[in-house]
Amino acid sequence: MSDRSPYAYDSKVEGNIIFTQLDTAINWMRSNSLWPMPMGLACCAIELMAAGAARFDIARFGAEVMRFSPRQSDVMIVAGTVTYKMALAVKRIYEQMADPKWVIAMGACASSGGMYRSYAVLQGIDHLIPVDVYVSGCPPRPEALLDGLMRLQKKIMGESSFLEQKKELLASI
C-alpha cells in the first residue's frame, strides 16, 4: 500500500484487519453500491438498458439495482431529452430521493438540450437540479456511461461527509 492510500494493511496484526478512516469506509460502501434511478426519457434510455444488460453489465460497478422508486435510489441517471412538460416532474422525483444523492446527466440532451434548440426542451437538466457527472454522446455508448459512473465513484471517494457532519455538530453545540 502506498503512503497516499486511504487504506492501510498492517501485516504484523493478525489477518483480515484494515485500518482506514470512517469517511473512507463510508465512501467505499456508497460508491460501490450506487442504486440508480433510471430517468429514461428518450433514446439514451436504450443505451442505459444496454449498459445494464449482459454485454456491458453495470453490475461490475455495483450499480445494477435499478430502482423505479426515488426513495430507494442513490443516483439519478437522466437519460434523454427533458421537455419542459417533464422538467418539474424530474425535479420532483429528484427531491423525493433520500440524501446522499447524485445525478448523472447522460447524453447531449440531458446535459445541454442537445440538438433540440426549441421552444419545448429544457436546455440542460442542470437548470433545475445539480449534476455531478455529464456524459457526452448522442446517445453515449454504454462504455461512456460506465466511464461516467466510475468518475462518479471517484468523486464520491473524495467526499468527507462524516467529517463535515461532525464539524457541523460541534459548531452547533
The site for another protein (CB under 8 A) is made up of 84-85, 87-88, 113, 116-121, 123
Shortest Å distance, C-beta 95 to another protein: 13
Say which residues have a Cβ less than 8 Å from residue 54's Cβ, sequence separation at least 6. Answer: none
Tell me the three cell numbers of residue 33.
453500491
Strand order in the sheet with 36-40: 36-40, 75-79, 102-106, 133-135
Cα–Cα distance measured from residue 36 to residue 39, given in angstroms and rounded to the nearest whole number:
9
Shortest Å distance, C-beta 35 to another protein: 28
3-state secondary structure of 4: coil
Shortest Å distance, C-beta 129 to another protein: 14
Shortest Å distance, C-beta 128 to another protein: 10
Tell me the three cell numbers of residue 80.
434523454
Cβ-based nearer residue to another protein, 60 or 85: 85
Cβ-based nearer residue to another protein, 108 or 149: 108
Cβ-based nearer residue to another protein, 49 or 93: 93
> Cα angle at 98 between 35 and 96, to 5 degrees?
105
Cβ-based nearer residue to another protein, 31 or 112: 112
